Amino acid sequence: MGLIEVKDIRVFAFHGCLEEEARIGGHYRIDITVTGDLSHAENSDDLTDTVDYGRITSIVKEQMAIRSKLIEHVARRILTALKEQWSQPLNWRVRVVKERPPVQGDVAEVTYTVEG
């Protein structure tokens, strides 16, 4: 069983329920974890036999560019797009971090995680 982690993909996006968030945007960090049988790649040394983390990053950026009101929604879209790209039996974890959300009080970040 192998594990690939792509951490702190940084994106500026326009997610949120407030109109202000649609106008000014905010900073996000996304972590992707994938586990599965990657032994073929271990032996072949061939990118086509594994999960390309460059493509993971591209998918995250593509999905983050589509506005959502909720980070739960964008996290699910990212997960769905990753699963469509790699159809082999893999376990995915998508973590979306919204930095400095516009809420009352001093909140550093809000995080949502989805697995599938």
- Structural domains in the chain, CATH included, are 2-115 (3.30.1130.10)
- Look up residue 55 and give its amino acid: R
Catalytic residue among 7, 69, 83, 98: 98
pLDDT of residue 61: 98
pLDDT of residue 104: 83
98 is catalytic: yes
- Cβ burial 95-108 (10 Å sphere, 16+ → b, else e): bbbbeebeeeeeee
Q: Which residue has the tokens 């973590």?
A: 95
pLDDT of residue 56: 98
In this structure, what token pair is assigned to residue 87?
Answer: 């159809």
Encode the chain (116 residues) as per-residue pLDDT tens digits. Answer: 999 999 999 999 999 998 888 899 999 999 999 999 999 999 999 999 999 999 999 999 999 999 999 999 999 999 999 999 998 899 999 999 999 988 888 999 999 999 99
